[in-house]
Chain A
Amino acid sequence: MKLGISAYGAYVPRYRIKVDEIAKVWGDDADDYKNGLMVTEKSVPDMDEDTATIAVEAARNAILRGADPKKIGAIYVGSESHPYAVKPTATIVAAAIGAPNRMTAADYEFACKAGTAAVQTCMGVVAAGIAETGMAIGADVSQGAPGDALEYTAAAGGAAFVISKENHIAVINHTCSFTTDTPDFWRREGADYPRHGGRFTGEPGYFKHVLSASKMMLEHQGTKPSDYAYAVFHQPNGKFPSRAAQTLGFTKEQIKPGLTCPKMGNTYSGASMVGLAATLDIAKPGDRIFVTSFGSGAGSDSFDITVTDRITEVQDKATKVWDYIRDAKYIDYATYAKHKGKINVDS
């Protein structure tokens, strides 16, 4: 039995703020951040957008690409910015896309890899015959404390993937994961912004997990980087995925279509999934795609995917990731602060 993706959709809010604009407010050296992080601007949600609205727009784009909402038997939404502490985002998505009540749903949390964990859960639920198709979503409206380094990259966006046994636009050949207990990044209940272990987050966090899961995948599949047309790695900034790709032996060209972070920032649970959606937007039948996510805490999920002939039928049916990125509207820091609720209005 083959499992795969039968439809996908992404969404990126329209507003952008440039790294220069944030640096100006905090007296930082903008070039330092732009070069250090390889990010020039990031997406900002509108005042009336949150993780639920972004998840719904991504899910509706998957439906435009042929997913039948009546056949969805499971919806899982991965995010670290669910709008409610208790009350699932997944049920809001289900109602907004007209999925039947005869289905299972839940919200997931695992820092930035909650969305790919949702993909794996859908694979299990569909393989077991519990659901005919399952929808996995990764979406976030990420927050960085004002003045913190995370503020330069914390962005908004998401993507949805429909997992099924047939009608594939891409077959998932294999998935595997690498997980440890690592305190590289956290946010306590009730705290507005996350805390992180500073420089500690790179080596024992991101690189250890991304490289371990990726090497495990290459070993399981008996493949080498040159067997893949494209690769997508979790992108908390532009630099980490570029370095991970290089270490593993992937080229700049292989990661280029999915490397969205430099122009839209880090969408956390959405980051590797938006990257995969952007890659599917331009992929050709037969292309093989390598994907590894990362979530602090910490773990990585790796996927080996082969694009099928049907991809060309769906690519143009909904807005593509890079078209969303190009449709940008720039705002200044004051407007950005208002959008993110960093200014308190007493009412």
Chain B
Amino acid sequence: MSVPRFWREIPARYNLIGTKCETCGTHYFPPRRLCPKCRRQGKIVEHQFKGTGEVVTYSTVYTPGESWIGSKPYTLAIIKLDEGPMMTSQVICEPSEVKIGMRVKRVFRKIGQDGEKGMIHYGTKFVPDKK
């Protein structure tokens, strides 16, 4: 990933900053600058998601790409944030632990790096929310 692209995406990656249309109340993540429902009537404002949601579906990866070789198996899930939008993210738990409908909450983790000498990319992953 290019340094400028990662830099631009820091608010979304670190803090789940998306947007919300004040006209119809729909939340968007990743952020949208135009509400497809309201078009010109839409009023888009920034919105920080709470970082809680539930697992809609998941897949456990046993044969990852080379740079993920040390972390297999890991679980990728589609998570429905409590405000509405869906996002794909890693859920950090044992493969046997993850279930559809499981409550999850955000954590701050490394999501990748450009080799041993390049930039480290930080961002949001999810863990089971035991509360």
Contacts and interface: CB of A to CB of B under 8 A. Distances in A.
Q: Do A and B bind each other?
A: yes
Interface of A: 46-50, 52-53, 56-57, 60, 83-84, 92, 95-96, 98, 338, 343, 345, 347
Interface in B10-26: 10-11, 14-15
A98 B10 CA distance: 11
Instruction: Determine chain A's interface SS by DSSP, over half rule.
Output: loop
Interface string B114-131: 000000101001000000
| Nearest 10 Cβ contacts at the A-B interface | A56-B108, A48-B109, A48-B110, A347-B66, A96-B14, A47-B71, A53-B108, A53-B109, A95-B14, A96-B108
Given A47-B71, A83-B120, A53 B110 contact: yes
14 contacts: A46-B92, A48-B71, A49-B110, A50-B110, A53-B107, A56-B108, A57-B107, A57-B108, A60-B108, A92-B122, A95-B10, A95-B14, A96-B122, A347-B69
A98 B17 CA distance: 10
Contacts of B67: 347
Interface residues of B, number: 19
Contacts of A343: 70
Contacts of B11: 95
Instruction: Pick from B48, B109, B125 the residue with the most CB of A within 10 Å.
Output: B109
A343 B66 CA distance: 15
Nearest to B106: A60
Given A48-B111, A50-B120, A92-B122, 17 more contacts: A46-B109, A47-B71, A48-B71, A48-B92, A48-B125, A50-B110, A52-B120, A53-B109, A53-B122, A56-B122, A57-B107, A95-B15, A96-B14, A96-B15, A338-B70, A343-B70, A347-B69
A55 B89 CA distance: 22
Interface in B21-49: 48
B111 A84 contact: no
Contacts of B109: 46, 48-49, 53
Contacts of B110: 48-50, 53
Contact of B15 (A46, A47, A98): A98
A52 B113 CA distance: 14
Nearest to B108: A56
A50 B113 CA distance: 13
A92 B107 CA distance: 14
A52 B122 contact: yes
Contacts of A52: 120, 122
B41 to A, nearest CB: 30
Interface in B44-103: 48, 66-67, 69-71, 92
A347 B113 CA distance: 13
Nearest to A83: B120
Contacts of B48: 98
A83 B125 CA distance: 19
